[in-house]
Structure 1
Amino acid sequence: MYLVAVLDWYSRYIISWELDQTLQIGFVIEAVQRALEQAKPQIFNSDQGSHFTSNSYIDLLKQHEIRISMDGKGRALDTIFTERLWRTIKYEEVYLKEYDSPRTARAELTRYLRFYNEGRVHQSLQYQTPAEVYFDKKM
């Protein structure tokens, strides 16, 4: 299973995410399109993975007049907030469970990512949740 997330770096809020069994570009485009329905950033940052260097991805961002930022190859620290999100998901959710099907994985990740956004406080956010910071209010 492959997970992609659109993350607001300031608040750590997961705006959109998608899970797929293949590495085809469609699930990445879906996640980005859903995110763009909620917010239009000035800059979209990613690593240089094949999804993020594809014409479909680049064209979608250009259509929305969003500047594209890609990190240097092998520079995980350039996307530190996203890398930290992956670590958190793995250690607080994925590694603790054995999903018996893609449907179960999606259901459990839906539950966890809702908790991450709305219930998990972050020290770096003055012990607020990502949703509280993103929406600038207490939930």
Structure 2
Amino acid sequence: MTRRVRRNHSPAFKAKVALAAIKGEKTLADLAQQFDVHPNQITQWRSQLLEGAAGVFGSEAKSESNAPTIDVKTLHAKIGELALENDFLSGALGKAGLLSAKR
């Protein structure tokens, strides 16, 4: 028995199958045979489409797209702290003979 290679479906294909399932013109078995996917997968895509459909027209899509604010000063301070630690540790290891001086 050979195993089927795992397939990655595009979002456009998933939307097409989910919309066909929502229309209800064909049964899940017919859709599964037509699109060559498992009926459980069609049901999952259909529910994902129904859950996310409100976000297309509502304010949820706008609020999710807002990136969290990044404190650049804090990040620069952390970078400086880590660089200082690296310099100190490389010097200490070099004096102890555990780190080669070629670095």
**TM-score band, normalised by shorter chain:** under 0.3
Return the structure number with greater helix share: 2
With structure 1 as the length reference, what TM-score do the two structures score? 0.21
| Structure of greater relative contact order (alpha carbons < 8 Å, 6+ residues apart) | 1
Q: Which has the larger radius of gyration?
A: 2
Report the structure, 1 or 2, having the larger strand content: 1
